[in-house]
Each structure stands twice: as structure tokens, then as C-alpha cells.
Structure 1
Amino acid sequence: MSQGGGMVCGPPACHLRGAPTRYQPISLGVERYGSAKGRYSHYLHAQYSEAIVAMLACARIGAIHSAVFAGFPVPALRGRIEDVCSKIALIVDESVSGGKAIPMRRIVDEALSMYDKDHLVQCLVLKRTGSPIPSPPGGSDHWWHGESAQWPNYIAPEPMDSEDPLYLLYISGSMGKPKGLLHSMTGYLLNLHPSDTMFCAGDVGWIAGNSYLVHVPLYE
């Protein structure tokens, strides 16, 4: 993975380049609140550029990221966090889909209220709409913008082996309980050159988007 790659987003596109990064300060926040190489971090996937930042932040320190769609019911979210004993969730305060507000932080609260009380999940919360959100017990919420502002723009990448895990995605569950699929750091069959343009129509919450929208463009 490129060590100098940064990310700058804004209409109409996101650009990966060697500018001061957005995701490396978040890497330090993720590490501070319990994740590290080989540990799991969840992010509630919504259509915002920080979803990509969350993925790259986890990959930078070797943490395994796992996307959960914003529209999933509470038991589905709880089950995915419980499966891997995730230590941190990267979320937004509220998402908007089709003109309807989705109270993401409240959904996470409900999921965690059904979870083992001895397992505290830290939440890194992006202020998306600014709507009031509940204050969880134990001080487990941390504002994304606050963490981004207090950490340096550079963290050395964690050395990884080719077969170390990169991300975890679940199948739909139409044939029973959803099963997690673990993707390694490598395994991409590519023949790309610096002058090439690659198009991928995959959503960042699906395997094509995880791979070919986010991680593959950074391989050199």
C-alpha cells in the first residue's frame, strides 16, 4: 500500500494523492480506543466519503475493518459486533436516505444494550447532521473531528504479511445465519499501469467497492 497516499474529497470526486492525509489521524484514534493489528473495527456504512477514510485508517495500523449497512436492523448489527468482539465502531450521528433520517447513533446504542455489559465498545462519531444524540454511559463516545484535529497527519504503516487479514464482509444470510468472509492483504489479479483509468461501479459496502474502489488503487 502506498505510504504517501492521502485523500482529498469534494464534489465531484475523491482524489488519492500525496497531500496531508485525512485518514492517518483517525488511525491513531482507532488505535487509541482499542483496535490494533489483527483486531476488528466496525463502521456503519453510509454514502459519505469518511467511510473510505475509516477503511484506510484501519488498514494503516493493520486493524481488520468490517462494513455494516446503515439500514440493517439492530440484531444484525449486534451479531456482527459480537461475532468478532469488536472494540470500536466508526459511525455518524445520523444518516439521510431518500429524505428520511436514520438515527445511526441510536441504532448502535440499541445494539450495544443487547450486548455483554462487560465488553465496552468505543464509538468514534462523525457529526453529519448535528442532531442530538444520546450520551452513553462510561464515556464511550468520541467525536471524529476532535480526534482528527489532535493527532499528527502521519503514522508509520504497520508491516503486514500478504496473507494477513484486511477486511471482513458478511454474505446476505438468505440461506441461514450470515457468514463472515475474510479477505487477505493480497489476492488481486491486476495489470494496471500509472496511466491507466480503472472504473468500478461497486458500492463501498460490497466486496467490489472495498477492493476496487478503495484498496486496489493504492497498490503500487
Structure 2
Amino acid sequence: MTFRIARPLVASGAGLALLAALGLGLAGSASARPADAGSTTVSPAGHFFAATLNGQATFQAGSVTVTCNVSTSQPDGTTANNQIPAAPGNANPAGPVASSVNAPTYSDCSANLPGVTVTVTTSGVWGISMQNGSPITATMTIPQGGLVLQTTGLAECTVTAAPSGTASFDTTFTNGAPSQFAVSGASVPVTVTGGFGCPTAATTSVFNATYSVTDATDSTQQITVGS
């Protein structure tokens, strides 16, 4: 997945993970849906799920590119985060089904400049809202300030996602073994601070990525979305 920071407008291109994850949001949060939205059922009811990055997450800011090879959001065993609602809450006759999600983690990150260290910190409760359709959509929400990327060394920059409030964007969900959601050209507001080499005029970031969604309660089953 690749994030491209616009100067100052959204740029087209690739890039997930660092500003999304995956990007996810608060329980019950979702983008506005039309009044005639179709029915949605997420299965298996009550099961926990995990989301794991497929490939790499690449964050691009000007000439600096940060690549993370690992990103995941896992249930914690103590909260209802990363859990499909129990029946009948896993079904909605006229709209999406939402779940809260633990903030994804990012590791094994590097930059394309020598002597630069990258740190990605996430926080808060994120979320995902599934809407059946053709295609199936999954609206992700990141809480205010829920992701901060910092580089130190030759370029010392701080990129903060959703700096003024929660930010949501749509992804495409595909049933499978495992099921996946893909982010394509999604935009998230950011602020960038720092010195020389930092794209401080940037106000948005565009990213793409793919995550596998697996059943953490019963590995023999799949997380699916239907009517």
C-alpha cells in the first residue's frame, strides 16, 4: 500500500497502511448511506476477526519514501474490538453493520534515505462498517490523531493523520478464503511538521492497500458479508 502526500491537493497514486489501515473507526461510525441501502449480514455472528496487511505499506512524502512490511489489527481478548456483533446485531435490513477495531500496528519500517529512522505510532479505537452490495464496501474510520508517523535523521518530519477529527473512507470488501478489503485512491487529511525535506504544505494523503481478514475465533471459517 502506498500513501502519496499532495502538495497541497490530493495526488493520485498508491499507498495504504500508514494512514489507514487499514485502516478502521469508532463503533457505529460510517459514511453517509443512501436511504435505500440494501440489507447487510456479517458472519459468523459474534466471532472475532483479524486484519493483516498483504504486501508492503509505502508512505511517500516528496522524495522520501517509508516502507513498512508488517501491519496488523488483532483482537485483544478483553474488549469487543475486532468482533462481529452477536445476532441479531450482525444483520441490518437497510444499511451497514459496524464494528470497533483495535488500532493497527506497523513494524519492519525503513526509509529510502541512509541514516533515517522511522517510527509509526497508532492510538485510539478505530472502526469498520460493512455494507453489502456490488461491490461490497467497508467504510473505515480513523480517530482524531490516531496515526502519527515520525522520521528522524536526515529528514525529521511528523505526519499526523485526521488532525482535526475522525476521518472516514470507503474500501472494497471481497468474500474469500481469506476475505480481503482493498483501499484504492482513498484520501485522509494530514498535517506535516518538520524542517528541510518535509512536505509541510501537504493537507491530504491518498493511499491504496490490501488486507486479509481472517476469523480469529474459528480458523476453519471465513468472515463474509451478504444480504
The structure whose RCO (Cα within 8 Å, separation 6+) is larger is 2
Structure 1 or 2: more strand by fraction: 2
Band of TM-score, shorter chain: under 0.3
Structure number having the greater helix percentage: 1
Q: TM-score, normalised by structure 1?
A: 0.24
